[in-house]
Structure 1
Amino acid sequence: MQVAGQRETQLNLEGVAIGKVVDFDPESDQLYTFDLTANNTAITPEILEDTTTFSTWVADELNAHHARYGIGGYDEHRTIYARSHHFDTAEEPRRLHLGIDIWGPAGTPVYNFHDAVVHSFKFNDQYGDYGATIILKYNLNGQIFHALYGHLSLDSLTGLEEGQHIPMGKAFARFGIPEENGFWPPHLHFQLIFNIYAFKGDYPGVCQYSKKAAFLGNSPDPAPILKHTFKSALI
């Protein structure tokens, strides 16, 4: 896939009300930043090759840091994608993460941060893929962009229709179990996309490092949205 240069590279959120994406109380809840690069030598091949073991490792890390959620990943070069052939390409493997992940228990509600319509949805069931996925379309200050919500529960897709209105504040999805989320530890992949091209229910969440500039230009950092969820917590 070729991604052309984008005219827009950042969000315009001035004067826009932004809601939460997940439940979080900054007065009592903690947020832990995961490092999923090669620098984190605690993530061994034995952990990655088994989804149950990987899920236990994530849960243990959250418990050890008294954190409700783990977070991280935007513009992060992750060697963990070697666990799935889904990220292999002939010329160069895909390793650069284009969204932010929120790690937490399966069943965690996902809320819409602003009024939107359903662009598309799909069950991407290949090992290592998104699993159940919803893409919402937003218009903020005349700026149109999309948000991809990946690794959801399969029942999050039930009753959806393209063009359906999803109001701000609605709990419209949940974190999926591994069998529904592409065989990952439960988490939400949250990614913003300016030009969705012809994709339906899917868009690359990981790219080749050599194509970093083009893909990051089309998928801006979601932190300005998520800071409204986590308030003073570091993201």
Structure 2
Amino acid sequence: MPLPVFETFLKSLKSYSLLNATIVKDQYIPINLSLHNSELKAINVSNSDDLEHFIWNYMKTHNAKVAYGGYLEQRGIYQRSAYFNETNSETERNIHLGIDLWIAAETPIYAPLAGSIHSFKNNINHGDYGPTIILKHHIYSFEFYTLYGHLSMASIENLKVGVEVKQGDQIATLGTAEVNGDYPPHLHFQVIKDIEDYKGDYPGVSNRLDLEFYKKNCPNPNLLLHLV
């Protein structure tokens, strides 16, 4: 079945690496943080230190510099936070809508495409993004957005809406668990077709009821990143 038009367009783009371009594809390793990974049953995923230890050991075992994945992954980590958790399994938000890149705090983040600063915000709910930047892109006839979550506080200081960003510009650094929503350091990267009325924020986790909408509005970021 052919990809929809927007997804085909994303796949056709030549993007700059989100991380340092000297990290080659062979140094990226996919990681499964879903409810269905039996290895996580022995880990307290609610504790950022325990989860970090698991992820960092996983990367070391596979001789990798970056662990990545998570698009449409159903996760148990969100159960620790009232911001996501509900008693109704249909409305509980636990299906991840972006790709996570797990790597050390203070790692520089680069713009994969040219664009402009749409908005930024420190999302301070427990388990939320922490400091977040959203870029707006207009390429050919397509207008869309990319979201960068779990950044450092320094990343959103002195920013101005509307400022142009060139492809490959450094736009941020990653934050620590103290500021990034209480997670091991990582980047949440998400593609968004229609930002609606959101500024500096957009749902990065869906429930089952809304999943079909978000799958269309937030296609797989790997179409753009070409990690596999």
Establish whether residue 18 from structure 1 lines up as the match of residue 31 from structure 2. Answer: no
Establish whether residue 162 from structure 1 lines up as the match of residue 161 from structure 2. Answer: yes
Name the aligned partner's letter for residue 215 of structure 2. L
- Indicate the residue corresponding to 1:3 in structure 2: none
Are the equivalent residues in 2 in contact too, given 1:129–1:182 (CA < 8 A)? yes
Q: How far 1:60 sits from its partner (Å)?
A: 1.2
For structure 1, the residue ranges without an aligned partner over 5 or more in a row are: 1-6
Are the equivalent residues in 1 in contact too, given 2:46–2:77 (CA < 8 A)? no
- Indicate the residue corresponding to 2:136 in structure 1: 137
Tell me the percent identity. Answer: 35
TM score, norm. by length of structure 1: 0.88
Q: 1:218 to 1:13 in 2, by over 3 A?
A: closer
Name the aligned partner's letter for residue 46 of structure 2. E
Q: Quick one: distance in 1 between partners of 2:151 and 2:217?
A: 23
- Indicate the residue corresponding to 1:52 in structure 2: 49
Q: Quick one: distance in 2 between partners of 1:210 and 1:15?
A: 31
Name the aligned partner's letter for residue 225 of structure 1. L
Q: How far 1:88 sits from its partner (Å)?
A: 2.0
Number of residue pairs matched by the alignment: 223
Q: 1:46 to 1:224 in 2, by over 3 A?
A: closer
Q: 1:158 to 1:111 in 2, by over 3 A?
A: same
Bigger CA drift: 38-47 or 48-57?
38-47
Say which SS state the counterpart of residue 39 (structure 2) adopts. coil
Q: CA RMSD in A?
A: 2.0
- Indicate the residue corresponding to 1:193 in structure 2: 192
Bigger CA drift: 180-189 or 10-19?
10-19
Matches within 5 A, 1:1-235: 10=7, 12-13=9-10, 16-25=13-22, 29-44=26-41, 46-89=43-86, 91=88, 92-227=91-226, 230=227, 234=228
Q: Quick one: distance in 2 between partners of 1:11 and 1:130?
A: 28
Q: Quick one: distance in 2 between partners of 1:127 and 1:158?
A: 21
Output one character per residue of 1:2-44: Cα deviation in whole Å (capped at 9) or x when no partner. xxxxx97525147644211112446585211111112212223
Bigger CA drift: 128-137 or 21-30?
21-30
For structure 2, the residue ranges without an aligned partner over 5 or more in a row are: none
TM score, norm. by length of structure 2: 0.90
